[in-house]
Amino acid sequence: MNLGIYYFTFITATLLGAGCSAQQSTEDLRPATNERPPDMSEAVLGAGCFWCLEAAYEEIDGVHEAISGYAGGSEAAPTYNKVSKGQTTHAEVIKVVYNPDVVTYRELIDFFWSTHDASRSDGVWPDFGPQYRSILLYKNDAENKVIQASRTAHEANTGQLIATEIKALDIFYPAENYHQNYADKNPNDRYVRGILEPKMKKLGLDK
């Protein structure tokens, strides 16, 4: 291994701790509702730590809110403690609640590819493991067709083969309350300052 890369990786891990890991050690209460407002649609997707993805999507015009949660696995009622340790088959994801008259599902999926390296199947830097995998979950055939078309276009534009898992959504589980709007509530968190803020700037989004 290149010693420069090793040193950088070691220092980064030391400064940021265990990656996308909240300070709280106890499981908080979950959001009171899993229902969307009238006239809104939903999209469920994951690309590494849900704090980063939530913050990015909430900056898009037409997005009402982004809710951090878990999906893509088979276990019922997953918790952060189990998901973050890789003890379930779920991934960290977000549910994007959006106004389809302002932003389309295709636009949300096209933006998805810009948020991470979708050619990797082992997670999104600096968080690796199946719980941080790139994943798109569709609710019907129409959404699946949009995803496939967007993926094909992105592969053609970049020359990269997409490794993102694409599958039908079974159920979305909202994450514990302390994960919702984590960046806004914890602006001095080391992960927020060291990983999330630079990513937002790279995407051209203010945070």
Residue 42 has pLDDT above 50, yes or no: yes
Residue 15 has pLDDT above 60, yes or no: no
Contacts of 166 (CB under 8 A, 6+ apart): 135, 136, 138, 144, 147, 148, 151
Task: Give me the domain span that covers residue 86.
Answer: 33-188
Region 138-146 average pLDDT = 98
**Picking from 13-17, 140-144, 171-175, which range would have the lowest pLDDT averaged per residue?**
13-17
Q: Which residues are catalytic?
A: 49
Is the previous residue joined to 126 through a cis bond, with omega within 30 degrees of 0? yes
Is 199 part of any domain?
no
Say which CATH number the domain at 179 has.
3.30.1060.10
- Quote the pLDDT of residue 181: 95
Region 104-115 average pLDDT = 98
Buried b (16+ CB within 10 A) or exposed e, 1-18: eeeeeeeeeeeeeeebee
Q: How many domains does the chain have?
A: 1
The chain-wide mean pLDDT, for the chain, equals 88
115 token code pair: 């948020």
Is 205 part of any domain?
no
Q: What element of type H or E holds 172?
A: none
- Quote the pLDDT of residue 130: 97
CB 106 within 8 A of CB 130: no
Is 47 part of any domain?
yes
Nearest to 30 by CA among 97, 124, 126, 95: 95
pTM attached to this predicted model:
0.86
Is 129 part of any domain?
yes
